[in-house]
Each structure stands twice: as C-alpha cells, then as structure tokens.
C-alpha cells in the first residue's frame, strides 16, 4: 500500500469518525486502531500497520492526539514495544507474529528481557543459562538478573546457551519464555531508591516449546543484536520536547527560586541546557535515519550520552537546591510498573540516574561499540573469541 501524508491523514480522520474517542471504550478503541493499521504504520498489514515508511507514524499520532485519543500506555509496555516487537517482526514466523504482536501493542501482555546474568558481568556473550533440547521442547536452567518488570510480565525474550562446545558468541539460541511456567521464580532486587523495579529470575527446568524459538538454533547472538540496538535507541533516543526530561525540573527551579542562583551554577546550567538540547536534536536526526533502515551502532552513542547527561543534570539539581535536594520522601519498598523521573523529587532523580550507566548496556561496553563500529578504531584483543565456551575460565 502507498499513501501520501494527506491520504493517511484522511484515513485517520475516517477512523476517528467511526470510533469517537470520547464514547468508545479504551480497549475497543485501541483494538480497532491496531486492526485499522494505525498502531505502527511501518509494520505489515494485518500486524497493526500499513507497510508505510516509519516517518508517517507522526501523521497518525498528530491526528489522534488532537482528537484526545487514548494511547497504549507505552511506558508500561516499553520493553515489549521497543525490544520484543522489532525482534519478533524480524525473526518470527507468521504464526508467532500474529500470536504476540497484537496483545503486546494493546498492552494486554507485558514483556520483559531475560538477557543479563550475574556470572557474565557486562560480557553478555559469556552467559551460562543452558537450554537442552528434549523432543519438541527445550529445558532451560539458569539465572538472570536486572530484569525490569519481570514481576508483571507474561512473556520474556530469553537467550540461552544451546551448544557449549561452540565459542561464546555462537551456540546461543533466542527464545520466548512463558513467565507463568512453574519453573520461573521472580525475586525483587531492592535498589538504592528503596524500590524494586528490577528483579532476579531463576529458571528451573523451564520447558519452552521449540515453536517459541526466534531464529535458527545457534543464531541467538545475531537475533539478540536486533533487540539490543533497538533497546539503546528506545532508551537514549526517546522523543522529548525542549526542556523535557531531567533538565526540566532544574530549569523550573532556577526560574521560580531566584534565591538559589549563583554565577557558577548559572554557567553550569547553561552548559548542560545546551548539551541536553544537542542530544535532543541528535535523537531527532537518528530517528530520521531509522526511517531508511534498522537501528545501527549510533544508538549506543545516544544511550551513552543519555546516561552521562542524566547523572550530571541530577547532580546539578541537588547542588542548586542545597539541603532541600537531600529530601527524599518516597524511600519505600514498592514494585513500580514504570520509572517516573520527572514526577518525583530531586533525591529520587539523583539516586535513580545512577542506574542509567548500567541498564541497556554499560557505558564501558557502549564506549567500545562507538569506538569500533562508529569511529572505526581497532578492536580490543579478544583471546577468547575462538575458544569453546565450556573451556573458558569462569
């Protein structure tokens, strides 16, 4: 299908006329939107899209926003939208796409990501979770860590080692794991914020049908790269208005509380405001590049910058507020569905921003990716590249 912006705008208005947001139940509206191909227009017809360029989604979103249409609560289902869905689309069978994409986008089924492991550190390819084939199923045993939203998830994207005789980047296979399996145990990880949005997940004889495998056996690392590149774009390249995100509360405090101002803080605020705006505009350019293809290593640079800026801006906010910045009223053990940086106090933002340089790929690993794949610098020596995983020291 080919539609120009005007035709797509007309199609969206026809949809809104047939499904008025004010009188259509939210669940019915979202289901109808998906079936009309207006969920993500760059996806194929029948899977929530129209096979159009990604950039044209903005046309649909503008019309829906103007009409006061409900969204699918993207922050609650961000892992599904930003990581699982692109991977299912790229590597899933037609049956898998039709089974998982619709309830994922509607928010009926929450997803999480079972990648990181306590024994692998930042070297994801050294993972030790094992999947052993038993007829038409795989039996999985191992442990995953730092799993956001595992306590709410229905499904998980999972990578496990299926051939320990292969080097660490080979012999890995990619699965979709049913989080309701009796062998899945989710334990909260309490953070410095007092909350437990992260979890550790123990997998004990979890049985995964071979029909829930994405990609070929042993090709899990290649499949995982699709997930990881989309994850870093989702984290570092999110669309924000000017003065959106972490810089917003700092600028507001500066404008509303002149007694806090000093010359040195003013200079630092100006510097960070400019860097934040550069990052925002760079993110816009990156999203424009994505229209022409898949996300590349540039997303790692965006995510790296996002983490550094968040930590510097939150530190400046505490310095600006003085003793008021030390207040943190919500240090309680909760299991939040979303991370809310701007709706909380400065103390929370400062503490939570520390995790930005770990989640979605550590800053140290991302520096290597930018150096090698963006700048073209020589790679670090890797003596374990061709050694069988089972022979590596651990």
Which residues are annotated as catalytic? 231
Distance CA 36, CA 31 (A): 9
Of the candidates 200, 196, 193, the residue with the CA atom closest to the CA atom of residue 335: 196
Cα Rg of the chain (Å, integer): 22
Helix 298-321 with 263-290: angle, nearest 10 deg:
160
Say how far apart CA 217 and CA 163 lie, in whole Å.
9
- Taking the C-alpha atoms of residue 10 and residue 243, their distance in angstroms, rounded to an integer, is 32
CA angle 141, 143, 144 (to 5 degrees): 130
> What's phi and psi for 91, nearest 5 deg?
-125, -10
Sign of the CA dihedral running 120, 124, 127, 130: positive
> How large is the angle between the packed helices 26-35 and 94-106, nearest 10 degrees?
150
| Contact yes or no for 99/131 (Cβ under 8 A) | no
Distance CA 220, CA 227 (A): 11
């Amino acid at each position: 299908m080919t539609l120009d912006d005007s035709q797509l705008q007309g199609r969206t208005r026809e949809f809104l006329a047939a499904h008025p947001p004010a009188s259509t139940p939210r669940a019915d509206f979202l289901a109808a939107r998906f079936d009309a191909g207006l969920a993500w227009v760059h996806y194929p017809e029948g899977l929530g899209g129209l096979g159009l360029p990604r950039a044209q989604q903005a046309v649909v979103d503008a019309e829906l926003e103007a009409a006061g249409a409900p969204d699918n609560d993207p922050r609650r289902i961000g892992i599904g939208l930003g990581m699982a869905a692109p991977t299912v689309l790229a590597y899933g069978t037609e049956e898998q796409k039709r089974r998982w994409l619709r309830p994922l986008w509607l928010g009926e089924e929450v997803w999480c990501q079972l990648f990181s492991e306590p024994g692998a550190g930042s070297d994801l390819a050294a993972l030790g979770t094992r999947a052993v084939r038993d007829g038409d199923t795989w039996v999985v045993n191992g442990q995953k860590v730092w799993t956001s939203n595992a306590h709410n998830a229905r499904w998980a994207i999972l990578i496990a080692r299926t051939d320990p005789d292969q080097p660490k980047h080979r012999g890995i296979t990619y699965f979709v794991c049913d989080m309701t399996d009796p062998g899945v145990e989710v334990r909260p990880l309490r953070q410095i914020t007092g909350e437990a949005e992260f979890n550790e997940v123990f997998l004990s004889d979890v049985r995964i049908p071979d029909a829930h495998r994405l990609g070929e056996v042993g090709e899990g690392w290649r499949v995982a790269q699709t997930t990881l590149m989309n994850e870093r774009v989702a984290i570092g390249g999110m669309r924000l208005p000017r003065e959106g995100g972490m810089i917003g509360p700092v600028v507001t405090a500066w404008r509303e509380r002149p007694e806090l101002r000093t010359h040195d803080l003013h200079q630092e605020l100006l510097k960070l405001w400019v860097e934040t705006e550069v990052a925002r505009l760079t993110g816009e350019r990156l999203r424009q590049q994505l229209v022409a293809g898949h996300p590349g290593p540039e997303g790692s640079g965006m995510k790296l910058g996002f983490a550094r800026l968040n930590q510097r801006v939150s530190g400046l906010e505490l310095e600006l507020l003085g003793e008021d910045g030390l207040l943190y009223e919500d240090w309680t053990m909760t299991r939040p569905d979303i991370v809310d940086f701007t709706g909380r106090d400065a103390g929370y933002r400062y503490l939570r921003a520390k995790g930005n340089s770990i989640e979605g790929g550590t800053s140290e690993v991302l520096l290597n990716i930018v150096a090698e794949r963006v700048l073209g610098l020589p790679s670090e020596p890797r003596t374990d590249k061709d050694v069988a995983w089972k022979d590596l020291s651990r």
